[in-house]
Structure 1
Amino acid sequence: MTMAAAIDYPTASTQAASRITRVDVLRDFATAEPVWRHLETADTLSTPYQRYDFQAAWQAHVGQLEGLRPFIVIAYDANDQPLLLLPLGARQENGLQVAGYLGGKHVTFNMPLWQRDFAEAATRADMEALQSGIRRHRETVDLLALARQPRHWLGIANLMAQWPSQPSTNDCPVLRLLPGASPTDHVSNSFRKRLKGKEKKYEVLPGYRYLLATRDAEIKRVLDAFFTTKPLRMAEQKLPNVFAEPGIEDFIRAACLAPRDGGRAIDIHALVCDEEVIAMFAGVADAGRFSMMFNTYTMSANAKYSPGLILMRSIIDHYAACGITSLDLGIGADDYKRMFCKDDEPIFDSFVPLTTRGKLGAMGLSSFARAKRLVKQTPALLNLAQRLRGALQR
């Protein structure tokens, strides 16, 4: 789709056909909270990354430090019922006011919270009315930069794809969990046997077990181990420690402790023994998806028997038994992800200008994103980029 499509203005006839009759833009979480929590019910379509408690924790500990101001869009119907909530934050970038999803690079998927029946039946006219409503707002921004949006969620098409879109830099490896399937349909019998042989090395350790951390003390123990070990692991890989950036640790600790029905805003899984946390994975979950956010494993001799793979098998079995239908390990092409995730979740970006000034910004961001995807999809270019990054970090 060309960028020209982004600057089309809805006509009176398309606006009249839309269920959207009002679009509000709220600039603080407290005012948005009642509608936000209403849209977290079972009749809503959204990803677990867009829960109020997750997003509020991120904004309080990270977004504010980055100069991001809430720009929360809510669309209503003629009966004053909310149809969707678009959780955005705005800031000035290169002379433009740019709004994007809250949560930064620690969020894999971005999407509005939709009233489910609206998400299933909305038309292009509805999406044009939404864009027009944002544009007419007195506190509008120049540009919407909407990254990492799934094309489908729980089998329902994401209506945001009706706006100008292009493939994101990377797709996301995903494992489909078929209802009623045998565990060996998700992790093969031969792979299970290999992992079981490795796990026997751990079973002799006092207190060895798989743990879904539910108590505050368990969560604190695992996070203390993570924030000690992860910097060492990233240094091994010559990668910058993104978890040391201002506010990130406080956000993660707050979200991991924030309660939700059936768990926490971020759930933590681990292999532990009395002596140490051997491996951990943390992510967000809802009734249909578990999505990985971050992980690490011990620096001790216990690292040599593939604890991360053993833990991943346990996590898959846990969520399959809970009826969850898909699981992902985050964006990226790491080898261990392909051991479990055989399919790809296509995701897309949208750069939507709302003002005349925003048109050039949208074209620039779109071109940069396309170039980045080209590098990631071309082995020779990717190798060159990695060598340059390594040289700059020395």
Structure 2
Amino acid sequence: MTMAAVIGSQTATAQAQSGERRIAHIDILHDMREAEPIWRRLETSQFSTPYQRFDFLSAWQRHVGTGNDLRPCIIVACDAERRPLLLLPLVAETENGVGVARFMGGKHTTFNMALWQRDFAAAATPADLDMLLRGIRQAPAKLDVLALTRQPRRWRDLQNPMALLPGQSSANGCPRITMAPGAPPAERISNSFRRRLKGKERKLQALPGYRYCVATTDAEIKRMSDAFFTIKPLRMAAQKLPNVFADPGVEDFLRAACLTPLPGGGRAIEIHALECDAEVIAIFAGVADGQRFSMMFNTYTMSENARYSPGLILMRDIVDHYAERGYTSLDLGIGSDDYKRLFCKEDEPIFDSYLPLTTRGRMAALGMSSMAHAKRIVKQTPALKRMAQALRGALRR
């Protein structure tokens, strides 16, 4: 079902006559199939992250969102001639009587963005964003607050227009490598670190059938997925961590996305692995778009081969794989684990926005913002972070 708001018709008419492209209509769609043609059209404008692909998020909604009673709430802004300017891929739910809309993908997306018509994004102004929020408020979708988290401040060569709205730094950073096209390998990974990894890899190279593999066939993807969902629960149990991959629908979502072919080639999630004839030794998987590879999940063997740092060796292979294909950046996902800092010397700036749409939403937005700010302080303060980790460990025992 479509719910539409028409905004400032006289202004929209004037803009159309002057050739400008400004928001004149807001549609809120609750059916993925209805949104798909617009969604795929905006995907071709290449101003969104690979986490916002229809193929990726439709798999998430089918296997995770629906099972958690998250309703698609897809906001489409069009100009006076009904040409789409942006699409916000959101889901809605009611929390303590408050209607909250968030980005699709939940904790499985590192970055969240609207899908933008590129020329409009490059020229967007605060007035455009105000018009967007006004249209959402006027639409009868019963939303009280937009909780828009983990948004990149820039993507590729443009500012994210949502950064024009009130926001705050996200609780966690995202370690990133920037790779200059044609630069020598030592500029992305130092020669000394490469030598250390090469020394460790000699032990693995003695294994029959040792190889680096990018899964391309359905059979390879299934085999590596089977290995991941066998090893990861054991690895997390050994680290006394909860198995988040056991949450309802998550395994089905990830398997489906890994198998889903993209229109331009590749898969919605790409899997890289080190393996030998006896076992899969390490697995890293993520999303790619021709310029950025973004890590989603990883694990490594429980066997004695774990002694030789297979995860670091695989990460080196992945960095080189994408650099040789002209990619300009690579990130290792949210969080500041020590291994990430061996490769990444900078962080992707990301931010959250908690935007009230109603009087009721003002208190909810304030509460969400305050909680996120407090979480960031804990994450950024080593003593508080250690206390929080100790408390979590005690609660799990």
Q: TM-score range by the shorter chain?
A: over 0.9
Find the partner of 2:34 among 28, 31, 36: 31
Q: Take 2:85 and 2:284, find their aligned partners in 1: how far apart are those partners?
A: 34
Residue in structure 2 matched with residue 46 of structure 1 by the alignment: 48
The C-alpha deviation readout for 1:339-394, integer Å capped at 9, x for no partner, is: 00001111000000101110100001001111111111111111111111111110
The C-alpha deviation readout for 1:1-23, integer Å capped at 9, x for no partner, is: xxxxxxxxx99999877701111
1:262 corresponds to 2:255: no
Amino acid at match of 1:295: N
CA drift of 1:301 comes to: 0.8
Please tell me whether the aligned partners of residues 134 and 140 of structure 1 are also in contact (alpha carbons under 8 angstroms): no
Secondary structure of residue in 2 paired with 1:331? coil
Residue in structure 1 matched with residue 376 of structure 2 by the alignment: 373
Please tell me whether the aligned partners of residues 9 and 24 of structure 2 are also in contact (alpha carbons under 8 angstroms): no
Secondary structure of residue in 1 paired with 2:67? coil
Find the partner of 1:222 among 224, 236, 243: 224
Amino acid at match of 2:212: Y
Residue in structure 2 matched with residue 280 of structure 1 by the alignment: 283
Find the partner of 2:351 among 342, 348, 356: 348
Secondary structure of residue in 2 paired with 1:65? helix
Q: What 5-or-longer segments of structure 2 have no aligned partner?
A: 1-6, 16-20
Find the partner of 1:198 among 197, 200, 203: 200
Q: Take 1:155 and 1:197, find their aligned partners in 2: how far apart are those partners?
A: 38
CA drift of 1:155 comes to: 2.1
Distance 1:325 1:73, change over 3 A: same
Q: Take 2:38 and 2:121, find their aligned partners in 1: how far apart are those partners?
A: 17
Residue in structure 1 matched with residue 162 of structure 2 by the alignment: 160
CA drift of 1:140 comes to: 3.8
Residue in structure 2 matched with residue 4 of structure 1 by the alignment: none
Q: Take 1:378 and 1:331, find their aligned partners in 2: how far apart are those partners?
A: 17
Please tell me whether the aligned partners of residues 294 and 332 of structure 2 are also in contact (alpha carbons under 8 angstroms): yes
Q: Take 2:308 and 2:11, find their aligned partners in 1: how far apart are those partners?
A: 60
Q: Take 2:291 and 2:142, find their aligned partners in 1: how far apart are those partners?
A: 34
Amino acid at match of 1:286: D
CA drift of 1:44 comes to: 2.9
Find the partner of 2:115 among 113, 116, 138: 113
Residue in structure 1 matched with residue 182 of structure 2 by the alignment: 180
Secondary structure of residue in 2 paired with 1:205? coil
Residue in structure 2 matched with residue 129 of structure 1 by the alignment: 131
CA drift of 1:77 comes to: 1.1
Q: Take 1:79 and 1:95, find their aligned partners in 2: how far apart are those partners?
A: 37
Q: Take 1:363 and 1:334, find their aligned partners in 2: how far apart are those partners?
A: 30
Please tell me whether the aligned partners of residues 14 and 129 of structure 1 are also in contact (alpha carbons under 8 angstroms): no
The C-alpha deviation readout for 1:310-339, integer Å capped at 9, x for no partner, is: 101110011001111100000111011000
* TM-score, structure 2 normalization: 0.94
CA drift of 1:195 comes to: 1.0
Residue in structure 1 matched with residue 4 of structure 2 by the alignment: none
1:190-339 equivalences under 5 Å are 190-260=192-262, 261-339=264-342
Q: Take 1:193 and 1:262, find their aligned partners in 2: how far apart are those partners?
A: 34
CA drift of 1:262 comes to: 2.8
Amino acid at match of 2:309: S
Q: Percent identity?
A: 66
Runs of at least 4 residues off by over 3 Å: 10-18
Amino acid at match of 2:290: A
Q: Take 1:35 and 1:270, find their aligned partners in 2: how far apart are those partners?
A: 35
Residue in structure 1 matched with residue 83 of structure 2 by the alignment: 81
Residue in structure 2 matched with residue 72 of structure 1 by the alignment: 74
Amino acid at match of 2:348: E
Distance 1:12 1:377, change over 3 A: farther
* TM-score, structure 1 normalization: 0.95
CA drift of 1:153 comes to: 0.4
Distance 1:76 1:233, change over 3 A: same
Amino acid at match of 2:174: C
* Aligned-residue CA RMSD (Å): 1.5
Secondary structure of residue in 2 paired with 1:254? helix
Q: Take 1:34 and 1:155, find their aligned partners in 2: how far apart are those partners?
A: 26
Secondary structure of residue in 1 paired with 2:43? coil
Q: Take 1:251 and 1:358, find their aligned partners in 2: how far apart are those partners?
A: 31
CA drift of 1:198 comes to: 1.3
CA drift of 1:236 comes to: 1.7
Q: Take 1:14 and 1:184, find their aligned partners in 2: how far apart are those partners?
A: 55
Find the partner of 2:143 among 141, 149, 152: 141
Find the partner of 2:388 among 385, 389, 393: 385
